[in-house]
Structure 1
């Protein structure tokens, strides 16, 4: 596997190697770490907006402890890596359903 695509889940966190260094919280970084979402994180993102794209941005910003504006400043290919990492992290359970499945099922 290519080093730039390596992602490893460790203690409920996943680190994404960025192809283009980006400034987060005033520091130029070549990686970004997401923590596993809590139900609270998903509910908070749902409360903020009904727009699916904005909700995802709010959730990722919370999990990475960065601002939405900083995520918007990322290269698209790196944001796609962040999405892939989130779905890998979210699906890393015994059922494979991920933490958002029960919430989506009860929302409808």
Structure 2
């Protein structure tokens, strides 16, 4: 399942950092990404980009000698966001209902009744 590959790719903090840089700058070369991510060099960035591309989270555009990478918002990234939204929407609604119930019962903080 493509979403599983995307979640596996997102499990690595360096890959999440790469995606963060791409989200801010929209498009970067490997060298530009390596400058932003001090913990690894170009080879490491390239390896992580291969995983992100295989998961469908990043696209590659060749321009002369350089490859430019950007977030692919049309593929599995959209599925991942939809899955996360569905998972957390219910949990947030439940938390909101629980907070409303506590307020109605005179609780000022969870588990503490007001005098």
Q: TM-score, normalised on structure 1?
A: 0.30
Q: Which has the higher helix share?
A: 2
Larger CA Rg, structure 1 vs 2: 2
TM-score (norm 2): 0.29
- The answer to which structure has the higher strand fraction is 1
